[in-house]
Amino acid sequence: MELQQFTKQERRELRQEEKIKEQRQRKLKRLYRHIALWLLVALVVGGGIFGMVKLASRPASETGPAITVNAVNSEDWIKGNRDAKVVLIEYSDFQCPACAFYYPLLEKFSEEFGDKLAIAYRHFPLPNHQNAKSAAYAAEAAGRQEKFWEMHDLIFDNQKDWKDKQSTDEVFINYAQTLNLNLDQFKMDFASKEIRKKVEGTYQNGISLGLNSTPTFFLNGKKISNPRNYEEFRNVILQAINENP
């Protein structure tokens, strides 16, 4: 029906209705676009959460890239049976809070599994930890007097007392005194080029493996993702022990 058949008033009302209809259509189109965008965001976020949950639900032994590490050698500090069939290698930083968290767990594993497990410590002092290298030098210097693990424990037990100090020399000398070390020998070794070279060597070895955080664990040569708690970590080690009787 043509507009001429309507009165002026009717034509105005009709045009007004058409404008209202067009406005509604534009609003609906905008609404549809927003709904589509929201659905897309929901899918992306939901997919990401699903992936994270799926990853977190997998055992630590099944996560992480397939990276292998060199076997223990005469330069490594070993707690437990050096000839054990199950070897846990830790790349660690004495100033790292996460390393301090795992330290007592490793102590428990060493006590529980005894000769069935060897735990090797390798230095990986992160550049952003200003006192990590000094702590590594102190542990190595104590190691030259057969007290590496004793110094290792003292350093971790008292991490909060030295981690933010401008200078840690006196702190570690006091630890050496607590351990009844020969202080002159300790001071000389603490400052020696040989110890600095060894610490730098293990750090560069970690870099060559693509490591960038601590602690990083290798179980029987293969990298594992950091277990979230004691029980999960224990189960991973126990499984390896059962598979290597």
User: How many separate domains does the chain show?
Assistant: 2
pLDDT tens digits, one per residue of 226-241: 999 999 999 999 999 9
Task: Please report the pLDDT score of residue 50 as a whole number.
Answer: 39
Domain co-membership, 51 together with 68: no
**What is the residue range of 16's domain?**
3-57
Confidence of residue 189 (pLDDT cuts 50, 70, 90): very high
Domain co-membership, 75 together with 172: yes
pTM over 0.85: no
CATH number at residue 231: 3.40.30.10
Q: At 78, give phi and psi (nearest 5°).
A: -115, 130
Choose the final residue of a domain: 12, 34, 57.
Answer: 57
pLDDT tens digits, one per residue of 174-183: 999 999 999 9
Q: Give the pair of three-digit tokens for residue 112.
A: 């529980």
Domain co-membership, 7 together with 92: no
Task: Please report the pLDDT score of residue 49 as a whole number.
Answer: 41
Q: Give the pair of three-digit tokens for residue 115.
A: 């000769």
Alpha-carbon span 36 to 122, nearest angstrom: 52
Domain co-membership, 122 together with 96: yes
- As a whole number, the mean pLDDT across the chain is 85
